[in-house]
């Protein structure tokens, strides 16, 4: 692989990593802070893509961003209400919303399974025009995604250090404490999931516009891919303040995409392996600490059996 | 300060597991009262606290706190004016958040979108220094790194950051080693005295029950069976208390923890 090919691979990984890191940041809020595994992420990502594409195709590329985020908020609100007000288990709430969103997403795209944006203005084409003639010309995707990521990281750093942000973190960190405090966990869960899903929607919106197409399966497996990035990020930069950890999420997303892109480029793996790899990463990252904890017991049992066999016992 | 009038609570009514946890209990606390509560296993001490805090709604009766009827108020709203400590020191603070973040949450000054100010930090630092545990120099460390005693002391500080109308202590020193328990108890006494907080404390230590505060309640089978204060309480010994308990209920006090402690 020559240098220019390497750069192309790096570029793609950077663009995809930045766009997907918005979903990782969403999970940073819902999964790491609120301790809710939001399984509606796939559907919400597609919802953001669909809403954003429809609005952009109608000639309002700038409006597509708040529209997609608002759609994400609505999706998050439904998931949150199901688990806080209707007594539905949080995993199940996510799955229910995810399933329902499939129909909603097709309805948003006017009954079709995809929307083509080849001829439409998108935020990326707008920025491309703006950057024409500057040193950053040709980098419009990276620039737009980077601005979105920087704003999101800044927002999360500020937000999670407000009183509301602290209350949201406490809700996930020690539910017992929150139950006997003046924090209303219903309120914090609702706010947390709404904000998180706004970023998932934004992520989907930018993904669709950057590849000039929204389709019904664009968000498939996104929750696992984002979790894999999140776990890589928190392994590398999991200690420290909110800012460090949020930056870690972006780094995790980039590393995940980079490793994957290189493997793809070198023909180590076919493209369809992406989802298996992310599943394996997530499973391993969560299982390893548990296995490490179990190891002393297992090793004691093994040595005990060995000794017993040595004594001729059973 | 606290007016509990004829409250009752039955769990699992109409089933084989029916449990009359509180039966027609009435209790009046004057402002500044420091009440110690002792009683058998399952006498309803914690259930009484749960009822006051709103963990469940009572079947009958009313609860009025500082003139405000809180009978049907949700728990998180009551918590603004009721501080509460549990036996488990892990229950009162968030281990993944720093000491100052926990305190900021408890202080609750400013609106939802307010940030911790330098003034807040200074105030937290001064309060932490009172604990004499060196925590004022560890304000940016996660609470998960603290020992049980340190966490319970921090929880006490959090519960009284804005002096509550009512402080409920549910054997809050029982899980600590004797030295730490002594220290947390002294802090409790100091803070309660400083702010004149109306307090109820469940304890299994009879001696402590008579030494601390100005009033002692004994509970059995979901009600108050003995309520002593003033002169009558001043000359009381643990033996007197046990005798009075037997006279009141016709039974010996059967709390293994009480009998095992001196």
C-alpha A259/C-alpha A157 separation (Å) is 28
Do A225 and A292 have their domain in common? no
A163:B75 CB<8 A: no
pLDDT tens digits along B140-164: 999 999 999 999 999 999 999 989 9
CA distance A196 to chain B (A): 17
Q: What's the domain range around B77?
A: 2-81+164-260
- Whichever domain contains A35, its CATH number is 1.10.3470
Do A123 and A231 have their domain in common? yes
Do A311 and A246 have their domain in common? no
CA distance B107 to chain A (A): 10
The reply to whether A85 touches chain B by the CB within 8 Å rule is no
A170:B94 CB<8 A: yes
CA distance B112 to chain A (A): 5
> Chain B residues with CB inside 8 Å of A184's CB?
74, 76
CA distance B141 to chain A (A): 9
Do A217 and A311 have their domain in common? no
Angle between helix A3-27 and helix A41-57 axes, rounded to 10 deg: 110
Tell whether B96 is covered by a domain. Answer: no
The reply to whether A163 touches chain B by the CB within 8 Å rule is yes
Do A141 and A220 have their domain in common? yes
Residue A219 backbone zone (phi > 0: left; psi -120 to 50: alpha; other: beta): alpha
* pTM as predicted: 0.89
B14 three-class SS = coil
Do A234 and A301 have their domain in common? no
Q: What's the domain range around A181?
A: 3-269
Count of domains in chain A? 2
- Helices marked H in B94-234 — which ranges? 99-107, 118-131, 148-159, 178-195, 206-211, 230-234
Residue B2 in contact with residue B198, Cβ under 8 Å? yes
Residue of A nearest to B74 (CA): A184
* Of A106-110, A266-270, A280-284, B223-227, minimum mean pLDDT range: A266-270
Do A294 and A204 have their domain in common? no
Do A38 and A156 have their domain in common? yes
Instruction: Give the angle A296-A302-A306 at the CA atoms, nearest 5°.
Output: 140
> Chain A residues with CB inside 8 Å of B105's CB?
163, 166-167, 170, 181, 183
Q: Give mean pLDDT, residues B48-63.
A: 94
Count of domains in chain B? 1
Do A155 and A304 have their domain in common? no
Residue B9 in contact with residue B46, Cβ under 8 Å? no
**Residue B261's pLDDT band (boundaries 50, 70, 90)?**
low
The reply to whether A77 touches chain B by the CB within 8 Å rule is no
Do A169 and A82 have their domain in common? yes
> Chain A residues with CB inside 8 Å of B108's CB?
163, 182
CA distance A179 to chain B (A): 7
Which of A156, A180, A191 is the mutation pick for testing B, counting most B CBs within 10 A? A180
Residue B102 in contact with residue B117, Cβ under 8 Å? no
Higher-pLDDT residue of B249, B6: B6
Do A261 and A302 have their domain in common? no
Do A208 and A195 have their domain in common? yes
Residue B146 in contact with residue B100, Cβ under 8 Å? no
Please name which of B93, B91, B73, B94 lies closest in space to residue B82, comparing C-alpha atoms. Answer: B73
Tell whether B254 is covered by a domain. Answer: yes
C-alpha A272/C-alpha A192 separation (Å) is 33
- Whichever domain contains B19, its CATH number is 3.40.50.300
ipTM (interface pTM): 0.86
Tell whether B156 is covered by a domain. Answer: no
Tell whether B118 is covered by a domain. Answer: no
Residues of chain B in Cβ contact (below 8 Å) with chain A? 53, 55, 74-77, 79-80, 84, 86, 90-97, 101-102, 104-106, 108, 110-116
pLDDT tens digits along A44-94: 999 999 999 999 999 999 999 999 999 999 999 999 999 999 999 999 999
Residue A72 in contact with residue A33, Cβ under 8 Å? no
A265 burial type by CB count under 10 A (0-12 exposed, 13-18 middle, 19+ buried): middle
């Amino acid at each position: 692989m020559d240098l220019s090919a390497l750069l192309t691979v790096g570029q793609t990984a950077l663009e995809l990593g930045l766009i997907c890191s918005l979903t990782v940041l969403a999970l940073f809020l819902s999964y790491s802070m609120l301790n809710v595994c939001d399984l509606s992420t796939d559907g919400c990502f597609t919802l953001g893509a669909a809403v954003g594409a429809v609005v952009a195709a109608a000639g309002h590329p700038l409006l597509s961003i708040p529209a997609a985020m608002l759609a994400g908020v609505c999706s998050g609100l439904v998931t949150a209400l199901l688990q806080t007000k209707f007594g539905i288990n949080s995993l199940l709430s996510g799955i229910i919303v995810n399933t329902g969103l499939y129909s909603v997403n097709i309805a948003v795209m006017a009954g079709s399974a995809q929307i083509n944006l080849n001829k439409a203005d998108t935020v990326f084409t707008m920025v491309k025009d703006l950057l024409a003639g500057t040193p950053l010309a040709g980098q419009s995707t990276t620039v737009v995604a980077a601005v979105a990521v920087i704003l999101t990281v800044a927002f999360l750093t500020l937000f999670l250090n407000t009183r509301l942000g602290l209350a949201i973190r406490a809700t996930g960190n020690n539910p017992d404490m929150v139950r006997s405090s003046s924090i209303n966990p219903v309120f914090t869960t609702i706010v947390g999931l709404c904000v998180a899903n706004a970023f998932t929607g934004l992520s989907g919106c930018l993904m669709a516009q950057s590849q000039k197409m929204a389709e019904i399966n664009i968000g498939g497996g996104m929750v696992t891919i984002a979790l894999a990035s999140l776990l890589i990020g928190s392994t590398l930069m999991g200690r420290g303040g909110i800012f460090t950890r949020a930056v870690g999420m972006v780094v995790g997303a980039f590393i995940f995409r980079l490793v994957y892109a290189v493997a793809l480029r070198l023909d180590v793996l076919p493209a369809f392996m992406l989802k298996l790899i992310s599943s394996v990463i997530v499973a391993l990252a969560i299982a390893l600490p548990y296995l490490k904890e179990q190891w002393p017991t297992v090793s004691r049992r093994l040595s005990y059996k060995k000794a017993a066999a040595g004594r001729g016992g059973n | 300060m606290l007016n509990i009038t004829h409250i009752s609570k039955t769990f699992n009514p109409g089933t084989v597991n029916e449990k009359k946890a509180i039966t027609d209990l009435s209790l009046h606390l004057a402002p500044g009262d420091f009440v110690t509560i002792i009683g058998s296993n399952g006498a309803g001490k914690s259930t009484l606290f749960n009822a006051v805090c709103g963990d469940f709604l009572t079947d009958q009766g009313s609860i009025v706190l500082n003139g405000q009827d809180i009978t049907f108020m949700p728990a998180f709203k009551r918590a603004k004016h009721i501080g509460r400590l549990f036996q488990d020191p892990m229950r009162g603070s968030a281990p993944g958040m720093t000491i100052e973040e926990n305190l900021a949450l408890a202080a609750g000054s400013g609106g939802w979108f307010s940030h911790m100010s330098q003034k807040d930090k200074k105030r937290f630092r001064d309060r932490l220094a009172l604990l004499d545990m060196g925590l004022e120099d560890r304000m940016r460390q996660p609470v998960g790194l603290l020992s049980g005693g340190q966490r319970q002391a921090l929880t006490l500080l959090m519960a009284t950051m804005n002096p509550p109308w009512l402080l409920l202590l549910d054997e809050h020193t029982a899980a600590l080693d004797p030295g730490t328990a002594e220290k947390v108890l002294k802090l409790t006494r100091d803070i309660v005295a400083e702010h004149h907080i109306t307090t109820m404390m469940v304890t299994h230590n009879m001696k402590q029950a008579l030494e601390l505060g100005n009033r002692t309640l004994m509970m059995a089978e979901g009600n108050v069976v003995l309520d002593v204060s003033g002169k009558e309480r001043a000359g009381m010994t643990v033996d007197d208390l046990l005798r009075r308990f037997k006279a009141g209920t016709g039974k010996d006090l059967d709390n293994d923890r009480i009998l095992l402690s001196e």
